[in-house]
Structure 1
Amino acid sequence: MASACKDSSSSPIIPQVPVNAQLNVSSQLYPDLRQDGGFAYLQEGYKGIIVVRQSASSYFAFERACPYDPTNSCALEVDPSRLFIVDPCCGSQFNLKGQVIGGPAIVGLRQYRTSLVASTLYISN
């Protein structure tokens, strides 16, 4: 696992990819988004997007590329405990608000804008 990590001073930046997505948070496709701390993965973004429900009216959307090494082969995922987000390649950990809780990453996750209108969540950059 540690062999996939590299020096953060030479880490590349995450490429900017246009994001303009929407999803119905009440849809059968996203059952986990019906509870606080629930999440869903979307295909948009550079390596995908993790949508995390904070409350019935508040959602976060994060890029799945780790800021430590966005070019590695991994995409961020929610840990099976559902308590944090992890990069399986380098082991960096982030809380469900996108902040670093374990290195080697030293900066938080790229966050996309979210806007909830009725049951439709709009995600953009």
Structure 2
Amino acid sequence: MMRKLGIAAILLISCISCGKVGDVVPNVSVDFSISLLDPRMSALHNTGGAVLINGYGVAGLIIYREANGSYAAYDRCSAYEPANKCAVTLDNPSYTCTDPCSGSKWSLEDGTPVKAPAIKSLKAYAVNISNNQIFVQN
């Protein structure tokens, strides 16, 4: 019985101590929409095109046109040390983005890290298209 209690206590302590409070991009409400015909969205007409949107999410949004013709949206807040709220920037060509604070890079096709020190994916948001209008939400 004591052994079971000891194991349970160790498991509980290890679960509580896993991860730091600031190691994930915070959850904030995102409800953004714009016409795909808006000239500011013209980069999204081509595969691999991306646009930066300020004022939404933690550090802004990246909307990306995927190879299959669909769209992806990510928070610009770096997933590496997100407590710093360092906004990633688009690379040229815009298939990747870079955290200017750490040098980490992510693929915009799926948000996964492609260059260390990042090990976590970018925070993704849901994207829907209706009547040439793009909606980004969580």
**Would you call these one fold, judging by a TM-score over 0.5?**
yes
The aligned counterpart of 2:14 is none
Q: What TM-score, normalized to structure 1?
A: 0.84
Residue among 106, 109, 119 paired with 2:122: 109
Deviations 1:31-78 (CA, angstroms, capped at 9, x unpaired): 211111111111210110000011585100000111111122520111
2:23 counterpart of 1:12: yes
After superposition, the Cα gap between the structure-2 partners of 1:26 and 1:55, relative to the gap in structure 1 and judged at 3 Å, is: farther
Identity among equivalent pairs (%): 28
1:90 alignment partner, one of 102, 111, 117: 102
Q: Secondary structure at the match of 2:52?
A: strand
Aligned-residue RMSD, C-alpha: 1.7
Where does structure 1 differ by over 4 angstroms across 4 or more consecutive aligned residues? none
Please state which structure has a larger fraction of its residues in helix. 2
Q: Which has the higher contact order (CA 8 A, sep 6+)?
A: 1
Q: Aligned pair count? A: 117
Instruction: Extract unaligned runs of 5+ from structure 2.
Output: 1-18
1:1-125 equivalence runs, <5 A: 10=20, 11-43=22-54, 44-54=56-66, 57-72=69-84, 74-97=86-109, 98-125=111-138
Q: Which runs of 5+ in 1 are unaligned?
A: 1-8
Shift of 1:103: 1.2
| TM-score (norm: length of structure 2) | 0.77
